[in-house]
Amino acid sequence: MKIFTTTKALREYLLLQIRNLRQTIGLVPTMGALHEGHLSLIRQAQLCNSVVVCSIFVNPTQFNDPKDLEKYPRTLEADIKMLEQVNCNVLFNPDVNEIYDTHEQWHLPIGKLENLLEGKFRPGHYQGVTQIVFILFKLVEPDSAFFGQKDYQQFLIISKMVKLKRIPVKLVMCPIKRDPDGLAMSSRNIHLSPGERRHALVLSRALNWVKNNFEPSHISRLKKEAELMIGHEPGVELGYFEIANGDTLTPADAGTQKIVALVAARVGKTRLIDNVVIS
């Protein structure tokens, strides 16, 4: 695996060694602290492309809480070993100064989607997400890019950015990877104590209960039951539970065709998100 820390070196390599040979490039953007969920994105990218580029960059512009940025796990040495084990071709691991200059400005007219759910709880978060993904797309010029379903809202917003900026890239949303107990894999899970981890399982239980008992005419009741289920779990503070339109993330109703249930909660000091596609 080749490792690059500068945009110049990465750009030259991709142009001279990959593009000139007419090979396709798949991009997997990450913030590191890799787990099996990330590796599943790498494997999916390998099925569709000649070369896979994984980026590891803890992006400061998508954190509205400096403490959250500071405590975000950084495990580069272990990440490199994991990427080598799955035969990833390229790792791009730049410093902040390599990505942003002091005059960097960015605003994308995302619309209502920016202020719903995660956007409501994390103001400015999706401006930071679209900013770094746009930079990576312009740098790598991937044929396809791979993202996890766990960040469902993020995928919708990046899809909107691609349309607004007319970027020629295929976006692929890959299924959520879960531990055997049902907890959605997340880099933040390492902050959970054994007890907190057990309590965190209520999130996937509530989502699956809604999916298994779903009736279009009972959406309001299902939402309330799920909220109660999570609210009664010790050490879990519910942020939101929404049964939404899968395209707009506005509340679903009996006539909605594409439906997704999404949840966010704080377990101890760790904020977790999860979702399940219902129809």
Which residues are designated catalytic?
38
Question: Residue 259's beta-bridge partner residues?
Answer: 245
Report the alpha-carbon distance of residue 169 to residue 184 in Å, rounded. Answer: 27
Question: In the 8-state DSSP scheme, what is residue 95?
Answer: -
The residue ranges of DSSP E strands in the chain, in sequence order, are 2-4, 25-30, 51-56, 90-92, 144-148, 170-174, 236-245, 259-267, 270-277
The two structure tokens encoding residue 273: 């998100």
List the one residue out of 232, 231, 279, 234 whose CA is nearest residue 259: 279
3-state secondary structure of 92: strand
The two structure tokens encoding residue 249: 């993330």
For tokens 């900013």, the residue is 131
For 54-92, give one letter per residue: b (16+ CB within 10 A) or e.
bbbbbbebbbeeeeeeeebeebeeebbebbeebebbbbb
